[in-house]
Amino acid sequence: MGCGRVGAQLATLLDKEGHQVTALDVDAYSFRRLPPDFGGTALIGNGVDEEALKKAGIEEADAFVAVTQGDNRNVMASQIAKHIFKVPKVVCRIYDPLRRDIYSLLGLEAISPTTVLAQMLKEKLED
């Protein structure tokens, strides 16, 4: 869910490895980031809408990734994927490091690019 820079890049990488990929985004313009040879499906829809998720094939999904710009949407969609549709692997991006820690305690696999980048920058400064 989310076909911005990160979502489109991830969808492309997985598609090239032969995975069946569906990119879900509320804005059709976002799909321009997918390469012309993208073999997956680009679907307009909201990842917090159960019907849109079903259209995207969530009931057969092995994994779900939420990388929209909104932490709340990412968390909500991830919870739906994990708890309602029982998707085995669910990962979401959470920009706010404090919220990421809380969601991790609640069992949600969350990555904070804010924390990751800060750590990488710190390591570069210490080189």
- What domains appear along the chain, each with residue ranges and CATH number? 5-126 (3.40.50.720)
* Separation between Cα atoms, residue 95 and residue 62, nearest integer Å: 24
pLDDT in tens, the chain (127 residues): 999 999 999 999 999 999 999 999 999 999 999 999 999 999 999 999 999 999 999 999 999 999 999 999 999 999 999 999 999 999 999 999 888 888 888 788 999 999 999 999 999 999 8
Helices and strands of the chain, counted as H and E runs: 5, 5
Q: What is the C-alpha separation between 75 and 6, in angstroms, rounded?
A: 17
Q: What is the pLDDT of residue 107?
A: 80
Strands of 45-107, DSSP E: 63-66, 89-93
Asked whether the beta carbons of 66 and 74 are under 8 A apart, the reply is yes
The whole-model pTM stands at 0.91
What is the structure's pLDDT at 58?
98
Is the Cβ–Cβ distance between 97 and 74 less than 8 Å? no
